[in-house]
């Protein structure tokens, strides 16, 4: 199930984001705005924002709903990124050279 995999991945990113936000606050640089979290799966985004969808994913471990709590507390802002423009693909899958170069250029890196 792609939604579940993306939701779990977003949960892991939310944990890291929360830790980094606490670190910044600890060194007197608190974040006033929610941290953007990009996701290319609309079902996972909807699940993180709408607790009424719980009946569709009862099998998902409750710990992953930490993500939903962070969205509701306005600590995270989950935003959609088109799969075609997902820079994370550089690090997670093999790509054709043309797509690799295009995504690499989004990062500001050059050959």
Q: What is the pLDDT of residues 10-59, one digit of tens each?
A: 889 999 999 999 999 999 998 899 999 988 888 888 877 766 555 555 55
Q: pTM of the predicted model, to two decimals?
A: 0.73
Mark whether 96 and 46 lie in a shared domain.
Answer: no
Categorize the per-residue pLDDT at 91 as very low, low, confident or very high, splitting at 50, 70 and 90.
Answer: confident
Are 64 and 108 contained in the same domain?
A: no
Same-domain check for residues 59 and 30: yes
**Are residues 15 and 64 located together in one domain of the fold?**
yes
- The dihedral over CA atoms of 38, 43, 47, 49, expressed in degrees to the nearest 10, equals 50
Q: How many structural domains is the chain composed of? A: 2
Question: Do 7 and 64 meet the contact criterion of CB atoms below 8 Å apart?
Answer: yes
Question: Do 18 and 72 belong to one domain?
Answer: yes
Q: What average pLDDT score do residues 94-109 get?
A: 87
Least confident of 9-13, 87-91, 93-97, 106-110: 106-110
User: Is pLDDT of 69 > 60?
Assistant: yes
Q: Which residues pair with 38 in a beta bridge?
A: 79
Residues 13 and 67 in one domain: yes
Average pLDDT over residues 77-92: 86
Query: Is the same domain home to 52 and 64?
Result: yes
Same domain, residue pair 103 and 63: no
Output the average pLDDT for the chain: 83
- What is the span of the domain harbouring residue 106? 84-111
pLDDT at 22: 93
Asked if 55 and 26 sit in the same domain, the reply is: yes
């Amino acid at each position: 199930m792609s939604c579940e995999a993306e939701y779990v991945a977003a949960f892991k990113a939310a944990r890291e984001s929360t830790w980094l936000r606490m670190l910044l606050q600890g060194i007197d640089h608190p974040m006033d705005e929610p941290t953007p979290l990009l996701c290319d799966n609309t079902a996972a985004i909807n699940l993180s924002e709408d607790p009424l969808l719980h009946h569709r994913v009862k099998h998902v471990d409750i710990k992953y709903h930490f993500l939903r709590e962070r969205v509701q507390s306005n600590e995270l802002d989950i935003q959609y990124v088109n799969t075609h423009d997902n820079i994370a693909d550089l690090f997670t899958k093999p790509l054709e050279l043309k797509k690799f170069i295009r995504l690499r250029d989004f990062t500001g890196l050059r050959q």
